[in-house]
Amino acid sequence: MHFIDTGRPVPRAEALERTLPEFLREPGRRPGDPATALGVRAAEVAAIGEFIGWFALRPTAPGRADEAELGYRLRRKAWGSSHT
């Protein structure tokens, strides 16, 4: 959280009203497009399907699918976990 927004958790209402809609507005990707791997993905405990956070790969600048920045947020209980 140190480098994201204000460093404080985002209130649920803000995530539902602002953050999630921004993720969903990201354009779809075509198979074979180098940008296919870009976007936001949910992180889950595979064995039980429990949501534990998200990962995002986004271009560092518009039109730069060859260079991406990684962002992520994980629930505290998942920190240091070896769940697969």
Please tell me whether residue 60 adopts helix, strand or coil conformation: coil
Judge whether residue 7 has pLDDT over 60.
yes
What pLDDT score does 24 carry? 67
29-41 pLDDT per residue, tens: 555 555 567 778 8
Which of 12, 10, 3, 68 is closest to 35 using CA atoms? Answer: 68
Rounded Cα–Cα distance for residues 41 and 53 (Å):
9
Structure tokens at 46: 């595979």
